A and B are shown apart, each in its own frame.
Chain A
Amino acid sequence: MPDRRPSQIAIAAGLTKYALLATLRNKNSLFFGLMFPLGFVLVFGALGGGPSKADIGLSDKLVASGSPLVAVLKAMGAKKDGPIRLTTKSDALLEQAVKQGNLGAAIEAGANGEVVVLTSTANPIGGGAAAGILRGVANEINLQAAAGAAGPEFKKPIEMTSRDVAGKELRYFDFVLPGMIAFSLISTATFGVAFPFLGLRRALVLKRMLATPASPLSFVVSQCLSRSVQAVAQTAIIIGVGVGLYHFELLHGAATYIEMLVTSILAICAFMGFGILLANIAKDEQTAPLIINMFNLPQFLISGVFFPTNTLPRWIQIIADNLPLSYCTQALRGISTDGKHLTNVLPQIGGMLAWSVLAYVAAAKTYRTE
């Protein structure tokens, strides 16, 4: 009798269709993967009100130089209901704070006696307000000096240049949206994979598939492919909502969009190893949520999904920057907010894949069908 074993590739492709059908009809998976992160996106988008005071950073060197501008600003900052709040820091720290959007703007001493206004649009509302105030104050001083109304220390007009320390307008929303996509991906890969796998295991579907010529690998691959379709759709929807409702900017247009979608596929495939591993570890569907949350929650908190990891203590930061979810968040954020391309985020993609190798090896070792 001839060997009538079918091609595993054809099997995996065919099974994908059915896995996808089942996935799309699974309300739980769609809830965790899409509605939850989308809800966050909508909330964060709606929260985007401006701060009441403009946060302005002063360079310690500029303060030491006795710049007249500093004196005026300090007087403004000292007023209780004044429009500005001042912080004095070294130039390097100032630049970092502006980049992160913690300060709206900062001023430092330029090389030729001019004042340099540092802005980044990481904090566009605060940033615009702060820069506007600084220019207004400088213009006012210059005008008064020209009219002879100001004191002798203002004889020399204040020359103001500006320097943008980040390449694009970055709002908290722009920061948090790639985080939400990463959140959606890991939720889909864990809740959206572990639960169905547990169900299939309990119903002996995994075991029954073992008795067919389809290899377990083909079955797992079909699951991965179907979740990839789901992940791409979720990412597309989240970005679509971000762009449509909250002017989320795609720096290189369609290229950025596609690169984020490609990253999502890589991430879901990487994270699914954990989903299967968690399903193997969990005894049943009752214990699964605990185990999945133990894996997901710490990552949600410290992987830079909601806030930058550089505000964390150093030792936590080292962990926080190297978690599976961190790499995904960094890669997506690199593409969306820094305008990087896939080739520029290879280290992050590599980090994700390294984790996935660990996950898949562990998942294969613990794979069980009952």
Chain B
Amino acid sequence: MICLPSRFMPESIIIVSHLVKRYEKVTAVDDVSFEVREGEVFGLLGPNGAGKTTTLEIIETLNKPTSGSITVDGIDVQTRPNEVKPRIGIQLQSAGYYPYLTLTEILGMFGVAYGMPVDAAQLLAKMNLTEKSKATYNTLSGGQKQRFSIATTLVNKPRVIFLDEPTTGLDPQARVSLWDVIRELKSEGTTVVITTHYMDEAEKLCDRLAIMDRGKIIAEGTPVELIDNLLASGFESKRQIQPATLDDVFLHLTGRSLDA
């Protein structure tokens, strides 16, 4: 698979080029280059400690790279971070929210931070959280928390949203409901960058993905391409491909509920 240089791909909304992040002893991100195209769901996969979160944080203006360049929507992240911020929505891994505030109020607060009016009711409705509008974040279930997190990333009507392991720790229904949310965002034209440990999730959700390990990208492409490449190398799955999985059994029996 050939990746064209960035200047020939004007539809790329994120261009990461030779990104390096070195801490005192560890190189967390080691010469990473990839591009995310506008309107796609892009997956960043890899084991814990692979450098996914660090890479995302650098793109999100929250962390400074040691070297390399990153542009978001054509804007250089290092020199013009304040112009990148309004264009992106981010969900941090295992983030909480302001205690003592209701969901409606938290969304209002984010609206203030972005200097934009917020239709909290509409955002909550979109995430199927209307009845929780007066609840505080800590009283939500795992799935509700993640859906609310996504609602907060949409406050500023961003071009790109970053979701860092949004489905970790969720039960199957909650995961499926979150996938629906992500697909809906994609259908509205929002670019989604997502990290995950779950390969089935990446396969079902991502248009393209990059696999990171020890700070490097070791594979990149569409899920089908990556699987084809593997099979082309003579790989054979030890298991027979089943027409249904245990996930399907569970979901079939318990119902695909959004209330999880």
B101 proximity list for chain A (CB < 8 A) = 18, 21-22, 25
Alpha-carbon distance between A213 and B111 when the two chains are bound, in angstroms: 11
> Could you say which of A21, A26, A208, A212 contacts B92, with CB atoms under 8 Å apart?
A208
Is B178 interfacial (CB 8 A cutoff)?
A: no
For window 160-198 of B, CB contacts with A under 8 Å fall at: none
Q: Find chain A residues with CB under 8 A from B106 CB.
A: 18
Stretch at the interface among B9-17, B78-86, B208-216: B78-86
Bound together, the chains give a CA A278 to CA B8 distance in angstroms of: 51
Q: Is the CB of A18 within 8 A of B98?
A: yes
Whole-angstrom distance between the Cβ of B65 and the nearest chain A Cβ: 16
Which among A4, A15, A21, A203 is the interface contact of B113 at CB below 8 angstroms?
A15
A343 CB within 8 Å of chain B? no
Chain B residue at minimal CB-CB distance from A14: B112
Cα separation A134 to B62 with both chains bound (whole Å): 76
Contact (A203, B96) CB under 8 Å given A18-B112, A210-B62, A214-B113:
yes
Chain B: minimal CB distance from A109 (Å): 66
What's the Cα separation between A3 and B60 when bound, in Å? 18
Using known A-B contacts A21-B100, A203-B99, determine if residue A208 contacts B90 with beta carbons closer than 8 Å.
Answer: yes
- B residues less than 8 Å from A207 (CB atoms): 62, 92, 95
Q: Which residues of A contact B60 (CB under 8 A)?
A: 211
Contact with B90, one of A3, A17, A211 (Cβ below 8 angstroms): A211
Partner of B98, one of A4, A6, A22, A213: A22
Question: Which residues of chain A are within 8 angstroms of B114 by Cβ–Cβ distance?
Answer: 6, 212-214
Interface pair A11/B115, CB less than 8 Å apart:
yes
Q: Are A204 and B96 in contact (CB under 8 A)?
A: yes
**Contact partners of B128 in chain A: CB under 8 A:** none
Asked whether any CB of chain A lies closer than 8 Å to the CB of B105, the reply is yes
Q: Are A11 and B96 in contact, CB atoms less than 8 angstroms apart? A: no
Inter-chain contact A3/B83, CB cutoff 8 Å: yes
> Which residues of chain B come closer than 8 Å to A213, judged between CB atoms?
82, 85-86, 113-115
Tell yes or no: A353 within 8 A of B by CB. Answer: no
Across chains A and B, the number of contacting residue pairs, with CB separation under 8 Å, is: 90
Interface size on A, residues (CB 8 A): 32
Contact between B95 and A15, CB atoms less than 8 A apart: no
State whether A15 and B92 are in contact (beta carbons under 8 Å apart), knowing that A203-B97, A212-B85 are contacts in the complex: no
Within 8 A of B (CB), among A1-40: 1, 3-7, 10-11, 14-15, 17-18, 21-23, 25-26
Residues A205 and B97 in contact in the complex (CB < 8 Å), given A5-B83, A7-B115, A18-B112: yes
Give Cα A141–Cα B156 distance, bound, in whole angstroms.
89
Chain A residue numbers with a CB within 8 Å of B73 are 1
Determine the chain B residues whose CB is within 8 A of the CB of A5 once the complex forms. 82-83, 86, 115
Interface string of B51-63 (1 = CB under 8 A from A): 0000000001110
Of B97, B100, B109, B113, most buried by chain A (CB within 10 Å of CB) is: B113
B83-A15 in contact (CB<8A) = no
- A254-268 vs B: 1/0 string, CB under 8 Å? 000000000000000
- Structural contact, B99 and A22, CB atoms closer than 8 A: yes
Q: Does B100 contact A22, Cβ atoms closer than 8 Å?
A: yes
In the complex, what residue of chain B is closest to A218 when comparing beta carbons? B113
Most B CB contacts (10 A, CB to CB) among A17, A22, A196 go to A22
Q: What separation, in Å, do the CA atoms of A199 and B99 have in the docked complex?
A: 8
Q: Which residues of B contact A4 (CB under 8 A)?
A: 86, 115
Contacts of A205 in B (CB 8 A): 95-98
Contact A200 B98 (CB under 8 A): yes
Q: Does B221 contact A (CB under 8 A)?
A: no
Question: When the two chains form their complex, are residues B98 and A212 in contact, meaning their CB atoms are under 8 A apart?
Answer: no
Measured in the bound complex, the distance between the Cα atoms of B113 and A269 in whole Å is 22
CA distance A5 to B110 in the complex (A): 14
Q: State which residues 200-232 of A face B: CB under 8 Å.
A: 200, 202-205, 207-214
Q: Is B108 at the interface (CB under 8 A from chain A)?
A: yes
> Given A211-B85, A211-B90, A213-B85, A21 and B112 touching (CB < 8 A)?
no
Q: Mark B28-61, 1 if CB is under 8 A from A, else 0.
A: 0000000000000000000000000000000011
Question: Are the C-beta atoms of A202 and B96 separated by less than 8 Å?
Answer: yes
A sample of 23 cross-chain residue pairs with beta-carbon separation below 8 angstroms, ordered by A number, consists of A5-B83, A5-B115, A6-B114, A11-B115, A14-B113, A15-B113, A18-B106, A21-B101, A21-B105, A25-B101, A26-B99, A203-B96, A203-B98, A203-B99, A204-B92, A204-B94, A207-B92, A211-B85, A211-B90, A212-B110, A212-B113, A212-B156, A213-B86
17 extra interface residue pairs, beta carbon distance < 8 Å, beyond A15-B112, A205-B95: A1-B73, A3-B83, A14-B112, A15-B109, A15-B113, A17-B112, A18-B108, A26-B99, A203-B96, A204-B94, A204-B96, A208-B90, A210-B61, A211-B61, A212-B114, A212-B156, A213-B86
